[in-house]
């Protein structure tokens, strides 16, 4: 795949996610869905996600969203949350979405079931939940890369050090959920869901 | 043994005196760090801006200095939030201040000769995640070559810092623990790297585009509440939003005027192609084992020596003779669908005359979409994005400019073809 083809795939995917989602997606949701699809389903997006306190992040996802918006494939609007002091962005389909999707159609069509899977399983989660879920997967893949097998408690401990606002129990519940979905690879065999 | 409590100062053309302690002096004196004296910050930019001969060495010292200023300002302004959110104590702050200083100092030790220009020649990672990045090399070097000088200095008995923690902070790994929060000072929207290179590159290139009120920015950065995310984040107070705006605009201007200058990008192409010819197998050694040893032997001097010996093929000769490719066509900065169709047509008409293509989005220095939270002075609207305060930034889009190049001798013919192709549209 050339760089150009990959770029169209990224824009096509983001456009498709925005178009297919049953509720409006925000920047965090699109970032984390792209992470899940690349990491768990092998979409060849070529993003370089790195861990931050808010989970795996690559500014290129935001840049691609900006490019998709400047091409008219998606539109964004800033929204304020009814509680707390935060803000976010909501994305809706733009007028030229089809132009972008067509450019990536060939590759994207191979991953349509995965895109639907990501939206159904994770599209309705809150930003905070997605950050925790993807941090767990990030820690899991890091352990795999080191050749480690981890007990649930050990994985929860590593995640908890990065995200101290979540209790151990909350983290373990999410680890178990991801394990049941078959999305974790570093857990000791006895602890696989 | 020298007094481990002695402190030193290094003169910096941007920041004045940069204070260091004996531990940092030993790290700086390590041959792996000294290698940065032989890696130019902006590759062959001096062919356009003759003063741009500065190196990664002085930049790395500057990043450590700025990161410390940021850390101190944030702790000063947001100590209570950090105590509550991340359970910091005084000794925890002191320990992570040191961690951030060392990570900032060492963030670039994995650079190739001529900095970013050679990064396309990193080998592929075995895990299928694309090519290695210079951060992977920096982290690998910290874990191996720098481990002893980091972990075994007498002053480290106060902190018990591990090389692994510094490497994890740079790479973005769980090994950094709660200190991952400070990763935004190393690689974030208002990081010390950007703040330093914009000032430093401006100074040496002799342009003013990268200058902004960075001291005001440093004194405005704080932890802002983001309760919906259950993770603290960095933002600025409203009083400092023009300084944050200045940072984004400085990046934009430096990108258009220096980093993505058409002739500079031509030289990047020639350098990359020459390196392909000079490097055994066409790629740098991987950041593992003996290969990492071999990688560290590569610096600007070695590449320049090879070029002086006539290596580097046609592109090496072009570098030596200043016979660089010429730009014949470029898209707008933010091309729309019609512009991309025109590009396809121009590229097709030019055919084999096109010798190189440079894309803004591939540039390491590309300007992204800023999303810096600003805490309003108005208590009824506490946090909003910078783009909600700044009309200019609300309109900013990532540059997607594409430039096509040809040989010098083909330039007139190419321009005629482009003129004819575009003429049909008018």
Region B284-307 average pLDDT: 97
Q: Do A139 and B87 touch (CB under 8 A)?
A: no
Instruction: Domain B1-206+261-274+282-303: give its CATH superfamily.
Output: Hypothetical protein af1432 (1.10.3210.10)
Domains of chain A and CATH, by start: 3-122 (1.10.10), 127-191 (no CATH)
Q: Do B172 and A52 touch (CB under 8 A)?
A: yes
Inform me whether the C-beta atom of residue A134 falls under 8 Å from chain B C-beta atoms: no
Tokens 């999305």: give the residue. A183
Contacts of B397 in chain A (CB under 8 A): 66-67, 69-70
Total residues belonging to chain A? 193
Residue in chain A nearest B127 by alpha carbon: A145
Q: Identify the pLDDT of residue B303.
A: 98
A33-42, B137-146, B350-359, B388-397: least confident range: B388-397
Burial class (CB in 10 A: 0-12, 13-18, 19+), A153: middle
Contacts of B385 in chain A (CB under 8 A): 78, 87
Q: Do A69 and B398 touch (CB under 8 A)?
A: no
Question: To the nearest whole angstrom, how far is the Cα of B227 from the nearest Cα of chain A?
Answer: 6
Per-residue pLDDT reduced to its tens digit, B325-381:
999 999 999 998 899 999 999 999 999 999 999 999 877 777 777 789 998 888 776
Contacts of A75 in chain B (CB under 8 A): none
Residue B50 phi, psi (nearest 5): -60, -20
Structure tokens at A134: 């993807």
A 49-108 near B (Cβ less than 8 A): 50-55, 59-60, 62-63, 65-67, 69-72, 78, 80-81, 83-88, 96, 99
Q: For chain B, give every domain's residue range.
A: 1-206+261-274+282-303
Q: Identify the pLDDT of residue A82.
A: 64
Region B275-294 average pLDDT: 96
Burial class (CB in 10 A: 0-12, 13-18, 19+), B233: buried
Q: Which residue has the higher pLDDT, B229 or B269?
A: B269
CA atoms within 13 A on the CB side of B342: 22
In this complex, the residue of A27, A72, A162 whose CB is nearest that of residue B174 is A162
Percent of chain B past pLDDT 70, that is, above it, reads 97
Q: Which residues neighbour A144 within 8 Å (Cβ) at sequence distance 6 or greater?
A: A185, A186
C-alpha B212/C-alpha B324 separation (Å) is 33
Tokens 């030993």: give the residue. B26
| Nearest-10 crossing angle of helices A97-109, A112-122 | 110
Contacts of A158 in chain B (CB under 8 A): 174
Q: Do A86 and B225 touch (CB under 8 A)?
A: yes
ipTM: 0.90
DSSP state of A44: -
Q: Do A53 and B362 touch (CB under 8 A)?
A: no
Count of CB atoms within 10 A of residue A100's CB? 24
| Nearest-10 crossing angle of helices B163-171, B134-143 | 170
Contacts of A50 in chain B (CB under 8 A): 171-172, 183, 187
> What is the strand order of the sheet B373-375 is part of?
B221-224, B233-237, B373-375, B383-385
Question: To the nearest whole angstrom, how far is the Cα of B239 from the nearest Cα of chain A?
Answer: 18
Beta strands in A13-171 (DSSP E): 50-52, 55-57, 74-80, 87-93
Residue in chain B nearest A57 by alpha carbon: B172
Question: To the nearest whole angstrom, how far is the Cα of B134 from the nearest Cα of chain A?
Answer: 12
Mean pLDDT of chain B: 93
Contact B44, B319 (CB under 8 A): yes
In this complex, the residue of B86, B180, B359 whose CB is nearest that of residue A52 is B180
Contact B241, B369 (CB under 8 A): no
Closest Cα to residue A25, out of A83, A89, A70?
A: A89
In this complex, the residue of B133, B176, B383 whose CB is nearest that of residue A85 is B383
Contacts of B401 in chain A (CB under 8 A): none
Q: Do A85 and B227 touch (CB under 8 A)?
A: yes
Residues of chain A with pLDDT under 50: none
Radius of gyration over every alpha carbon of chain A, rounded to an integer in angstroms = 17
Best of B367, B369, B393, B396 to mutate (most A CBs within 10 Å, chain A): B369
Contact B106, B224 (CB under 8 A): no
A 109-128 near B (Cβ less than 8 A): 126-128
Q: Do B384 and A53 touch (CB under 8 A)?
A: no
Region B102-106 average pLDDT: 98
Contacts of A47 in chain B (CB under 8 A): none
C-alpha B88/C-alpha B228 separation (Å) is 22
Q: Do B368 and A159 touch (CB under 8 A)?
A: no
Structure tokens at B119: 């990064």
DSSP string for B84-134:
HHH---HHHHHHHHHHHHHHHHHTTTTPPTTGGGGGGGSPBPTTSS-B--H
Q: Identify the pLDDT of residue B117.
A: 85
Per-residue pLDDT reduced to its tens digit, B168-201:
999 999 999 999 999 999 999 999 999 999 999 9
Contacts of B164 in chain A (CB under 8 A): none
Burial class (CB in 10 A: 0-12, 13-18, 19+), A117: middle
Tokens 């570093």: give the residue. A186
Helix (H) or strand (E) holding B419: helix B411-423
Contacts of B174 in chain A (CB under 8 A): 51, 138-139, 142, 158-159, 161-162
Spacing of C-alpha A90 from chain mean position: 16
Q: Do A69 and B397 touch (CB under 8 A)?
A: yes
Which residue stretches of B107-191 are H helix? Answer: 134-143, 147-151, 163-171, 183-186
End-to-end CA distance of chain B: 77
Q: Identify the pLDDT of residue B206.
A: 98
Residue B297 phi, psi (nearest 5): -80, -10
Contacts of B231 in chain A (CB under 8 A): 53-55, 128, 131, 163, 165
Contacts of A52 in chain B (CB under 8 A): 172, 180, 183-184, 188
Burial class (CB in 10 A: 0-12, 13-18, 19+), A39: buried
DSSP state of B259: I
Q: Do A54 and B130 touch (CB under 8 A)?
A: no
Q: For residue B69, is pLDDT > 70?
A: yes
Q: Percent helix, strand and coil across chain A, each rounded to 5?
A: 60, 10, 30
Q: Identify the pLDDT of residue B426.
A: 44
Q: Measured between alpha carbons, how far is residue B295 from residues A123, B137, B313, B322 in Å?
A: 44, 9, 21, 28
Contact B414, B266 (CB under 8 A): no
Question: To the nearest whole angstrom, how far is the Cα of B232 from the nearest Cα of chain A?
Answer: 8
Tokens 């055919």: give the residue. B351
Contact B223, B188 (CB under 8 A): no
Q: Measured between alpha carbons, how far is residue B275 from residues B120, B270, B286 in Å?
A: 10, 8, 16
Contacts of A69 in chain B (CB under 8 A): 397
Residue in chain B nearest A98 by alpha carbon: B337
Best of B132, B180, B395 to mutate (most A CBs within 10 Å, chain A): B180
Residue B124 phi, psi (nearest 5): -75, 145
Q: Identify the pLDDT of residue A189.
A: 77
Contacts of B178 in chain A (CB under 8 A): 161-162, 164
Q: For residue B120, is pLDDT > 60?
A: yes
Residue in chain B nearest A87 by alpha carbon: B384
Q: Identify the pLDDT of residue B233.
A: 87
Torsion angle in degrees (nearest 10) through CA of B378, B384, B388, B389: 50
Question: To the nearest whole angstrom, how far is the Cα of B362 from the nearest Cα of chain A?
Answer: 9
Structure tokens at B92: 């925890």
């Amino acid at each position: 795949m050339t760089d150009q083809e990959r770029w169209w795939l990224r824009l096509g995917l983001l456009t498709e996610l925005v178009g297919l989602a049953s509720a409006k997606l925000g920047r965090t949701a699109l970032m984390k869905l792209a992470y899940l699809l690349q990491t768990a389903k092998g979409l060849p997006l070529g993003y370089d996600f790195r861990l931050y306190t808010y989970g795996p992040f690559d500014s290129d996802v935001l840049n691609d969203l900006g490019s998709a918006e400047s091409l008219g494939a998606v539109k964004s609007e800033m929204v304020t949350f009814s509680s707390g002091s935060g803000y976010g962005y909501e994305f809706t389909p733009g007028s030229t979405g089809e132009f972008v999707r067509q450019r990536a159609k060939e590759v994207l069509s191979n991953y349509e079931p995965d895109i639907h899977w990501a939206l159904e399983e994770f599209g309705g989660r809150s930003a905070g939940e997605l950050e925790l879920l993807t941090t767990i997967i990030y820690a899991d893949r890091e352990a795999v890369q080191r050749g480690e097998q981890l007990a649930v408690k050990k994985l929860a401990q590593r995640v908890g050090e990065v995200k101290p606002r979540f209790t151990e129990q909350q983290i373990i519940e999410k680890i178990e959920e991801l394990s049941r979905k078959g999305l974790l690879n570093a857990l000791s065999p006895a602890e696989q869901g | 043994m020298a007094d481990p409590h002695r402190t030193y100062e290094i003169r910096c053309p941007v920041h004045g005196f940069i204070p260091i302690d004996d531990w940092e002096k030993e790290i700086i004196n390590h041959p792996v760090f000294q290698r940065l004296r032989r890696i130019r910050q902006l590759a062959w930019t001096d062919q356009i801006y003759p003063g741009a001969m500065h190196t990664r060495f002085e930049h790395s010292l500057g990043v450590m200095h700025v990161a410390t200023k940021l850390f101190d300002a944030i702790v000063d302004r947001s100590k209570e939030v950090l105590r509550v959110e991340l359970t910091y104590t005084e000794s925890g702050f002191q320990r992570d201040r040191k961690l951030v200083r060392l990570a900032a100092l060492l963030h670039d030790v994995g650079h190739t000769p001529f900095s970013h220009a050679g990064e396309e020649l990193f080998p592929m990672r075995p895990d299928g995640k694309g090519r290695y990045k210079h951060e992977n090399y920096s982290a690998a070097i910290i874990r191996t070559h720098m481990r002893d000088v980091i972990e075994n200095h007498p002053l480290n008995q106060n902190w018990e810092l591990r090389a692994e923690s510094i490497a994890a902070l740079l790479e973005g790994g769980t090994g950094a623990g709660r200190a991952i929060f400070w990763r935004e000072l190393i690689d974030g929207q208002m990081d010390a790297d950007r703040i330093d290179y914009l000032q430093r590159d401006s100074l040496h290139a002799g342009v003013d585009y990268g200058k902004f009120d960075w001291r005001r920015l440093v004194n405005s950065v704080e932890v802002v509440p983001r309760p919906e995310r259950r993770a603290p984040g960095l933002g600025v107070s409203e009083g400092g939003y023009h300084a944050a705006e200045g940072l984004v605009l400085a990046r934009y201007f430096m990108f258009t005027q220096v980093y993505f200058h058409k002739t500079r990008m031509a030289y990047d192409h020639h350098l990359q192609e020459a390196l392909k010819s000079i490097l055994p197998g066409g790629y740098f050694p991987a950041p593992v084992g003996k290969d990492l040893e071999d990688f560290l032997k590569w610096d600007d001097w070695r590449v320049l020596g090879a070029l002086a010996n006539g290596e580097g093929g046609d592109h090496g000769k072009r570098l030596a003779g200043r016979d660089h490719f010429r730009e014949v066509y470029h898209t707008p900065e933010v091309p729309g669908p019609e512009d991309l169709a025109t590009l396809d047509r121009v590229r097709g008409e030019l055919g084999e005359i096109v010798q190189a293509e440079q894309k803004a989005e591939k540039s390491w220095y590309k300007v992204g979409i800023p999303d810096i939270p600003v805490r309003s002075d108005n208590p009824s609207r506490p946090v909003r994005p910078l783009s909600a305060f700044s009309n200019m930034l609300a309109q900013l889009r990532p540059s997607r400019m594409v430039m096509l190049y040809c040989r010098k001798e083909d330039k007139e013919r190419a321009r005629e073809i482009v003129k004819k192709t575009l003429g049909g549209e008018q």
